[in-house]
Amino acid sequence: MAAGEETLGHALLEAFCQLEDSEEPVLMVYADMALPGEYRGFAERPEPGRAIGVLLAHAAARTTTLEATAAGGAPSSPRAQADAFFNHLADARPGSWTGPQRSWTWH
């Protein structure tokens, strides 16, 4: 799946939809690497490589609610969506991120 800056949020949403259709857990794996040198000029902001795996299950010990709404012209967040979500995973505090199309919140 590729959805630009909003790929992680859409991947989590897709994984949740798959979980709803199955009794089995769903493993969502996200990876984003820095662009090769010849393409870095096209990047909106320089990004380091990052990767994460999230196991979604009906009987999970920890839960997160993910919401997406239209961005409605709100300014985009200065950091990457993955960084904002990783912070939530690390400290379990609610977080948010706004991209070109949607505003995402998790709690």
Cα Rg of the chain, angstroms:
14
**Tokens 């990457």, located at residue:** 80
**What is the residue type of 5?**
E
pTM beyond 0.85, yes or no: no
pLDDT class for 35, splitting at 50, 70, 90?
Answer: confident
pLDDT in tens, 72-104: 999 999 988 999 999 999 998 999 999 999 999
Break the chain into its structural domains and give their ranges.
Answer: 4-106
Q: What is the pLDDT of residues 56-69, one digit of tens each?
A: 999 998 899 999 99
Total count of residues recorded for the chain: 107
